[in-house]
Structure 1
Amino acid sequence: MAETKTKCPKSELKFRVAIDMYAEAIALDLNNHVLISNRSAAFVQLRKYEEALSDAEKVVELKPDWAKGHYRRGVALHYLKRYVDAMVAFAKGLTLDSSNVQILSSLIKTALVSPTRDAFRPVLEHFHEVRASMNAFVATSVIGAQLLEESFYHESLAILLSARRIGTNNLKLKASLFFALGTAYWKVGHVKEAVDVMTMDLAMVQSIGDVRSECLVLNSIGKCHREMGKYRTALYYYKAQLRLADQLSDKALMAMAISDIGITHYKLEEYLLSLEYHKKCIEYAKELGDATLTTEEFGHAADCHAAMGNGRDALASFDSKWLAKQLALGDDDEKSSCDVNLRVHTDDVRVAPATPGKGAEPRLARLAHSFEKLAIEMRALAGGLKPTQIEASPGLPPPPTAAAKGSISSISPPPSTGSLGSTVTSPWQ
């Protein structure tokens, strides 16, 4: 990449004269992309980066299949500190000339000062350690995947598409690229394209016998189908993932599949089946010591109870969710989320007016009282329980507190309203 430090006033004068001469020449041939490209380079030397970018974009417009035009654009964007856009431009240049060392070097230098620098630097160091050269395909695919992790979805998609056009004969590297590319398509809302790419990726990982990657691809395809509303198709892929994960004895992958199966059954309004899967996932989450997953699954279980009109169990599940989050974070961040869920599910508590100390209204009142939410508390008390009876009522479990910390395994799953086995066959029998 061209340096922009002007050596001396004489050198600066030289570039000013060059820019004037290029301007005269361009006036005689407005569509001469070479002249405009050279003027862009001269503007960079004078640190006039906006003017350099304007010329470079004109070059790309006039000659989109010329690699140097994209390079000029990347350089200008780099010095404007628009590093992600610069990497997109350099990647586009490499699709047109994958052996161009100047463009590849500029892409790597930009990556080392971009939002991906912390993740990219160890990759580059590894290549130096093994005395391997980073080619255009590896650089673009790695940078594109890292931008995806940093939530630069559209820019990631553009760079990953460049990597796909550059290509490689290494099937494992190609499979990794296609997994990232499918995810990028999904993140920007192009779900059909995501499924097409992931289906190709599935064939690749199957051909090289990478079972763990096969599980991840199956899960991603399932998510795409679920997003398109194709719930039965999504279940097919999730259950295929679950079978493979079981063969690997990988509980993390099994929990992933089980949770998604539960969510999909919920979408199908098959709440009892959904609840069974989420309860099983809670067990796995505890075994894995995954507090975040435990929290999410208690929330899903609560949604199932609420959908079936089990107000007491829904509240108990939200209570457990709050406690699990406390153990995961050690602070009160989840209180606001629990309050929202209490508001949503207050109307789901359909029981007769309770005697003091019994029923869901006192329980809801105590939870609302602990969150200092007077409106919810008063709604809960509307069934006949007086405010003075909240503290005096026997048998009311205390609200969750920050002091109630301990092992995740100590959290009990939500109480059941009856034997699910008598209604639906458990998938775990």
Structure 2
Amino acid sequence: MTQSAKKQVHVIGAGPAGLMAAERLAQSGLSVVVHERMPSVGRKFLMAGRGGLNLTHSEPLAPFLDRYGAAASRVAGWLEAFSPSDLAAWAAGLGQPTFVGSSGRVFPRAMKASPLLRAWLARLNALDVEVRLRSRWTGWEDEALRFETPDGERLETPGGVVLALGGASWPRLGSDAEWTQWLDAPVRPFRPANAGFDVAWSDVLREGFAGRPLKGIALTHQDRTARGEAMIAAYGIEGGAIYALSAGLRDAVERDGQATLVIDLKPDLAADDVAARLARPRGKASLSNHLRKTVGLDAVGAALLREAGPLPTAPDELAARIKATTVTLSGVQGLERAISAAGGVRFDALDKHLMLTARPGVFVAGEMLDWEAPTGGYLLQASFASGVVAAQGVKAWLDRSG
């Protein structure tokens, strides 16, 4: 290998983790080539920004890390290398200052991914990062990387490698997990994360309310509660508050064939207060109008109450249902519809710098790794941060190996 090849790093995958690794490596003086199998970069990143790009979250570190479950101790090291405040400063440096929303989530002021991605690619171009589109990694040829390109097969033998090929969710955007066939590491099977769940709705609810939101609710599964919004879907239920509980709900469905979700339609009111309001004279108003006028329950909320059977007339019994409507989840939507995936390269196959122990000089970042998190900025934060850690590991590896 020539001296120039030793100082060249190939990053495979042009999502948030891969591009962040490429930026850090180029800033450290290395020659960087990025490979992307799709015709353009950052497709999943752009999709994530369609409803407002939630980059990270402003909550304190302890609850922030709790969102990563079993991987929290690993992610803690990533956040030491690239914290939420570092991410906000990085975005501002690209001309995309951020703000903290009422929920604590952090967004760029433009509320879009495309301006940030354009500025980022301009920075990478100024750093002489080479981006090769339609360049698909297909495994190893001895020590060389093998790629399928529009000009035929190509072999590359760089000094360091960062694999950032994504997980298995949204495969149409490029993350098809085919890399599991030739990676020299144990991979935990991918499962959907941040996905919707199947519910056997009545025809009335499915046909009349699919696509309608349940706003300002609290959802509980076992000992975990999430507040926010959910959406009635023809197949069941989805949305941010659901995703916050999705790991436990998914595990329960896989283990038991179903999961019980408890919905508090009025979490800001105590049950006694709800009952007192419902006890007010109804006059000639329909029960639906009475629910709307006394406790602010809209039509979709009232329809959800009726899914459990005829509405009780006693105020305390009706209040109890409003505060704890149960919904049985019978299945989880697949990876093709999931926002992200659980599973991936196991941490026991990596050192603390995210280098594969079976392939020295090859590092792994992003959703390829075995971690999951709910939406709310936690997915992007960890992806960016893992790219920084992998880049630091590559630089240290090259420095040690001469």
TM range, normalised to the smaller chain? under 0.3
More strand by share: 2
More helix by share: 1
TM-score where L is the length of structure 2:
0.25
Name the structure, 1 or 2, with higher relative contact order (CA <8 Å, separation 6+): 2
Which structure has the bigger radius of gyration?
A: 1
